[in-house]
């Protein structure tokens, strides 16, 4: 919905005008998958789709949560702290409020109206988007004094402690710190980062949504997290490391017997080789070698499919098609996997043809249509009004 319509919707619900409006994008990750929680380097970027919130203060000491896209509503009294209740969407902003209260920031009652155009559960970080959006808004309205990196870290605490997902910092960082036209190379251990102009010549970044209803993503994600921690602990018996990504491929090969579990060994091999791919991808991008960048994307997907086992027949069907399409030079799943979205680098002038053919291929194999769109790299969280 456009802003004017949202303002009318706000007035209809609350019988007053919204005082402030903020927007936070979603993200895609170009390369560096499932390594943020292993202290690795990742390369996400913010996209133009995201979440908008309209807000007005109230004198009732109540947080009223409404969303254009969800029927569930909630009115929650201002208290000292909160815990997650159920699985509804408003737990994300509630978790953010909880973190602000924990930080000793004084809040007042607020009326919220959220609206988003990120397909939910599609791996484009709709949850990081609503977390960072709420954090940015509260920080602004109540003068919290936090910078965007601190807001990203706060969002991660909500995800880890309030929502119970052991995710890394990548998503919150990407949507808080995104810069138009640039990918972010983020070191997830030190939080050092660098903007890399995403100059891909006559190619476009395509996003292909599997439209697969995602199930059990959280439990499988936490399982991968635990497997990585096991691999790290076993390697620590000999290697002086804090994170799995500190291990070189050579050291891994020399010491992999310590792991003594073929599945965990595969997980570790993915993590370590993916981290090295990101470093190569940075080189490729900065030297304008888009072809190599694309090949690294394919290699990343293969590793996520075979070693990390977070892909699935839907994502694989898309990437397999991309490999046969001459004007596509790279593709991979993006985000946590198990469904969600793939990304691809496709020649601009072939995009419509690509779209038609990938849809046909996918429908033949999977039985329903994917969503396909081209995306621009956009700014991170921001104030609209």
Residue ranges in contact with ligand GLA by CB under 6 A = 29, 33-34, 36-37, 167-168, 170-171, 335-336
Which residue in the shown chain puts its C-beta closest to ligand GLA?
Answer: 167
Smallest gap from Cβ 351 to ligand GLA, in A, equals 26
Smallest gap from Cβ 121 to ligand GLA, in A, equals 11
Nearer to ligand GLA, 131 or 265 (CB): 131
Please tell me the distance from the alpha carbon of residue 329 to that of residue 161, in angstroms, as a whole number: 40
Smallest gap from Cβ 160 to ligand GLA, in A, equals 10
Instruction: Enumerate the β-bridge partners of residue 22.
Output: 53, 383
Nearer to ligand GLA, 29 or 41 (CB): 29
Nearer to ligand GLA, 74 or 125 (CB): 125
Smallest gap from Cβ 172 to ligand GLA, in A, equals 8
Nearer to ligand GLA, 196 or 278 (CB): 278
Report the candidate in 62, 96, 41, 4 with the shortest Cα–Cα distance to residue 300. Answer: 41
Nearer to ligand GLA, 171 or 314 (CB): 171
Distances (CA, A) of 151 to 110, 129, 136: 19, 12, 7
Can 171 be counted among the known catalytic residues? yes
Smallest gap from Cβ 45 to ligand GLA, in A, equals 14
Smallest gap from Cβ 167 to ligand GLA, in A, equals 3
Residues 6+ apart with CB under 8 A from 310: 33, 34, 220, 224, 304, 333, 336, 337, 338
Nearer to ligand GLA, 123 or 144 (CB): 123
Report the candidate in 169, 156, 131 with the shortest Cα–Cα distance to residue 35. Answer: 169
Residue of 36, 111, 171, 316 marked catalytic: 171
> How open is the CA angle 288-291-294, to the nearest 5 degrees?
110
The residues carrying an active-site annotation are 171
């Amino acid at each position: 919905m456009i802003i004017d319509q949202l303002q009318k919707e706000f007035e209809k619900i609350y019988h007053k005008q919204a005082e402030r409006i903020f927007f936070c994008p979603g993200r895609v990750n170009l390369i560096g998958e499932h390594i943020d929680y292993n202290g690795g380097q990742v390369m996400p970027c913010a996209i133009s789709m995201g979440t908008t919130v309209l807000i007005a203060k109230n004198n009732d000491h109540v947080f009223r949560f409404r969303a254009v896209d969800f029927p569930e509503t909630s009115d929650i009294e201002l208290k000292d702290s909160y815990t997650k209740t159920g699985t509804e969407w408003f737990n994300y902003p509630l978790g953010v409020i909880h973190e602000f209260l924990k930080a000793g920031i004084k809040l007042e009652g607020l009326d919220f109206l959220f609206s988003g155009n990120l397909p939910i559960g599609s791996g484009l970080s709709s949850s990081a988007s609503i977390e960072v959006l709420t954090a940015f808004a509260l920080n602004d309205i109540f003068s919290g004094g936090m910078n965007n990196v601190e807001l990203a870290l706060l969002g991660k605490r909500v995800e880890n402690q309030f929502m119970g997902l052991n995710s890394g910092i990548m998503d919150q960082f990407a949507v808080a710190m995104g810069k138009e036209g640039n990918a972010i190379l983020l070191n997830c251990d030190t939080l050092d980062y660098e903007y890399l102009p995403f100059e891909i010549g006559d190619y476009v970044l395509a996003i292909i949504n599997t439209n697969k209803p995602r199930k059990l993503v959280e439990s499988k994600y936490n399982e991968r997290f635990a497997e990585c921690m096991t691999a790290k602990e076993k390697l620590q018996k000999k290697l002086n490391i804090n994170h799995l990504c500190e291990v070189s491929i050579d050291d891994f090969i020399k010491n992999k017997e310590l792991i003594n579990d073929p599945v965990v060994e595969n997980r570790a091999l993915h993590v370590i080789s993916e981290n090295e791919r990101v470093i190569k991808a940075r080189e490729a991008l900065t030297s304008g070698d888009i072809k190599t960048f694309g090949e690294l994307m394919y290699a990343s997907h293969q590793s996520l499919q075979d070693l990390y086992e977070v892909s699935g027949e839907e994502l694989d069907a898309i990437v397999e098609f991309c490999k046969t399409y001459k004007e596509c030079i790279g593709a991979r799943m993006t985000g946590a996997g198990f469904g969600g979205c793939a990304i691809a680098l496709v020649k601009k002038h072939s995009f419509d043809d690509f779209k038609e053919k990938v849809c046909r291929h996918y429908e033949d194999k999977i039985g329903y249509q994917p969503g396909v769109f081209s995306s621009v790299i956009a700014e991170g969280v921001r104030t609209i009004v």
